[in-house]
Amino acid sequence: MSAEITVTVNGHARTVPAGVRVREALDGAAGRDTIAARVNGKLIDLDRTLDADAVIEPVAADSPEGLDIIRHSTAHLMAQAVQSLFPGTQVTIGPTIEDGFFYDFAPPRPFTVDDLPKIEQKMRELAKADLKIERIEVPRAEAAETFARMGEKYKVEIIEGIPEERVSIYRQGDWMDLCRGPHVPSTRYIRAFKLTGVAGAYWRGDERNAMLSRIYGAAFATKEALEEHLKLIELARARDHRKLGRELGLFIFDPISPGLPFFLPKGAIIYNELIDYMRRLYRRYGFDEVITPQIYRNELWHASGHWDNFRDNMFLTVDQEGDGRIDSSADGWRHGYAVKPMNCPGHTFVYAAEKRSYRDLPLRIADFGRLHRAERSGALHGLTRVRTMAQDDAHIFCTPEQVSEEIDLNLKMVRDVYTALGFERLESKLATMPEKHLGTVELWRETEAALGRALDRNHLPWQENPGEGAFYGPKIEIYVPDALKRKWQLATIQLDYNMPERFDLTYTTSAGAEARPVMIHRAILGSLERFIGVLLEHTGGVLPFWLAPEQARVLSLSEKVEAYAAEIAATLKSLGFRAHADLRNEKLGFKVREAELAKVPYIIVVGEREAAAREISLRRLRGPRNETMALHVELSMQPASYRAWREPRNETMALDQLITLLKNEPVPS
């Protein structure tokens, strides 16, 4: 070991004595919020010593790596608190998860949510005590002995599975845990956490093992970030689409058909309005709609590759004229029928219905056909994970030369749709070759590269999603961040050279030769069910006017104005608006409140004065500029000003004026 080494921090190299601590090597280059460092690409503690030349980058508390270290350190802090409060509890593992962490314990009795405040309090005490977090390296056998002596049999099992000869232990105060690290320098760096729940979990996720008690927590670099996160969780709970669906009378689920929604009249309006919108776009973008069978002989699924790759997710059914069996074995494709989980194979028959020439291409066919997929019951979740769905599905058959133009066209459509629906930013991923796939590796790499170029050309930020492509081709996945900062994968565009091969699709080139078309699978809203679920959570149920199941409700102040109220509702209906009159003999406040809860955008109140002047009094559900409030505004507002914003103002206007307002409400074309 030389006595001096060169450290490079932020591009500046300097010479320091060997054995210097990372903290000193950083020498002021790091801010107060630096909690660890990346040394030659590896994350380590600030207290570690350097024996060789190193490139050092400080890791800030609020960077992705920094947050991970904070969350893991908070898991340690929680384990320390738990073991001091509940003697006899053994520790197991405590990994980080999105926004936080969990730790699995083997306690004398399972923890409940009632234990959490006490544990949190202890954690705060330990954090305040500013305990130094130290890393100690010991031979593996010694570590095993130490933990065995402490009665930590799970830790001993973990240590025995480690291949390295030396292991690291982290100590804070009188508590220690086996860990790779790194960690924050001392417990005082852990400032913003909240324990969020308890659950049972099997040791190593295996149901034959002992049941452990898991505690979940959230942790952030600052109190502000934690508070915003907790507020978002609270809003998400209030906006849960399953709850809104029930409250707004949009859809129900029933055990009679698990995972398959019943759309009620109001929900069906949203569903059909979305389809109508897509149809308007189809006319503009040159798509033709087709209607194709719901069930097909299994032969089709065998030819398409679904039988081998997707059979577990399909509802199989009996061929009444055949042998009457359902056979889900590899050979079962020789008889029976299955309900379609996808439209694609059926669409190859639409293509092959005529002899195609290059002049027919691109052929863009769209299908709102109902699909069924046998999702596991444990995976079902409201409208966002269902067993039946319809997609705004389309397949484009084109020449290889037309592919990039077609991808561009569809990416443009994606932008049109999401802009119209009020989703501001889009992100994307390029999902590449999965383990189970059709076609050669070379073809996959080529098509993956083509999709990557299309994303670049269309200025869509993207990342690779390795191994997540469909079995027949790579795909572009479009992620749509909602108002609660969650990202939903909605639109997809998939390139497929395999299906045309399997179904022997051809076209005649301009030179008169036979060639293979390329198939592009694409959906923009994705599943309509899932999209409606996302839209409800994004808007909290306050839908854009054109999607609102009830656009206007006329409330009568007294019996004397019933006729006038009914006349207004009838006029609005005759103009094509979805309007109703509430003529019940109830207090106005009650009727207004009901209309507000039903998220009716236009609440029209009429009394005798209005009736005499043929005017109306309008209360709008939305803000001063008739917009739904952006969530970041909602989050930053004080309760008082939020109420003021939400407080509907009554505007009095002539009936004609109201009609003009309604007619001017934007409807995407």
The residues of the shown chain that bind Zn ion, judged by CB under 5 A, are 179, 344, 521
Q: How far is the CB of 19 from Zn ion (least distance, A)?
A: 25
C-alpha torsion 533→530→452→97, nearest 10: 70
Half-sphere exposure of 669 (CA within 13 A, CB side): 3
What is the CB-side half-sphere exposure of residue 369 using CA atoms within 13 A? 24
Nearer CB in complex with Zn ion: 101/577: 101
Minimum CB distance to Zn ion, residue 471 (Å): 12
Quote the least distance from Cβ 169 to Zn ion, whole Å: 10
Instruction: Choose among 392, 384, 447, 452: nearest CA to 416.
Output: 392
Q: Which residues are catalytic?
A: 344, 373, 391, 393, 395, 475, 521
Q: What is d(CA 298, CA 315) in angstroms, rounded to the nearest whole number?
A: 11
Which residue, 311 or 521, has its beta carbon nearer to Zn ion?
521
What is the smallest separation between the CB atom of 355 and Zn ion, expressed in angstroms? Answer: 23
- Residue 164 vs 207, nearer CB to Zn ion: 164
| 470 DSSP 8-state letter | B
**Minimum distance from residue 489 beta carbon to Zn ion (Å):** 16
Q: Which residue from 388, 200, 392 is spatially nearest to 280, judged by alpha carbons?
A: 392
For the beta carbon of residue 191, count every other beta carbon within 10 angstroms: 18
Which CB atom, from 106 or from 269, has the smaller least distance to Zn ion?
106
- Residue 116 vs 344, nearer CB to Zn ion: 344
Give the whole-angstrom CA distance, residue 187 versus residue 75.
11
| Among 600, 561, 605, CA closest to 579 | 600
- Note whether 386 and 527 are within 8 A (CB): yes
- In whole angstroms, the minimum distance from the beta carbon of 5 to Zn ion comes to 28
| Cα distance between residue 48 and residue 181, in whole Å | 11
Amino acid identity, residue 194? K
Which of 348, 350, 341 lies closest to 369, judged by CA? 341
- Measure the CA–CA gap between 89 and 104, rounded to whole angstroms: 10
Which lies closer to Zn ion via its Cβ, residue 471 or residue 479? 471
DSSP E strands, 360-450: 363-367, 370-372, 388-398, 427-431
Q: Give the residue carrying structure tokens 């051809």.
A: 506
**Residue 266 or 521: which CB sits closer to Zn ion?**
521
Q: How far is the CB of 397 from Zn ion (least distance, A)?
A: 11
The least CB distance from residue 177 to Zn ion, in Å, is 6
Asked if residue 618 lies in contact with residue 651, where contact means CB atoms within 8 angstroms, the answer is yes
Max Cα separation, the chain? 99
Map residue 221 onto helix, strand or coil.
Answer: coil
Cα separation, 94 vs 74, whole angstroms: 10
Indicate the residue among 214 and 521 with the shorter CB distance to Zn ion. Answer: 521
Strands 96-97 and 100-106: what pairing? antiparallel
